[in-house]
Amino acid sequence: MGARMAKSGRARHRITFDKRVEQDDGFGNTQAGWEEQFTLWAEVKAKLGGEAVTAARLQSQNTVNLTIRQSRRARLIREDWRARDQSEGIEYAIKSIIDPDDGGAWLEILCQTGTAA
């Protein structure tokens, strides 16, 4: 129980999760957009950064792990969603979602900045 309490105490970031949706552009066409789903507390841990060459342009990429408590809402999150840090204003492309210890208490979400979500 001590490890769980310590982990939940490090969840100090408000992360909003957005789902990709098709929206009317007002001219009879549809365009991709985002629809806010919910906001949860998360621990944000930076991993090693990297660089990618996109269209002959060097682009910085940072990888982070978001750790959130499992809940009914948290289990709705998918890889085609995005996450937004409310205090930092950073958008994350979600790459993978795992239950790190198969215990059903936590979810780890691998995310990247500097990429198209």
> In the block, which residue shows the tokens 């342009």?
57
CATH entry, 2-113, from 1.10.1520.10, 2.40.10.270, 3.30.1300.10, 3.30.930.10: 2.40.10.270
| Model pLDDT for residues 42-98, shown as the tens digit of each residue | 999 988 655 554 445 555 678 999 999 999 999 999 999 999 999 889 999 999 999
Alpha-carbon gap, residue 76 to 59, rounded angstroms:
30
Whole-model pTM?
0.78
The helix, strand and coil proportions of the chain, stated in percent and rounded to the nearest 5, come to 10, 55, 35
Q: Which segments of 1-56 are extended strands (E)?
A: 13-24, 30-46, 50-54
Residues 72-84 have pLDDT tens digits of 999 999 999 999 9
> According to the model, what pLDDT value does residue 25 have?
84
CA distance 100 to 114: 25
In angstroms, the CA 114 to CA 105 distance is 30
- Work out the burial of residue 108: count CB atoms within 10 Å of its CB; fewer than 13 is exposed, 13-18 middle, 19 or more buried: middle
Boundaries of every domain in the chain = 2-113
Residues 6+ apart with CB under 8 A from 2: none
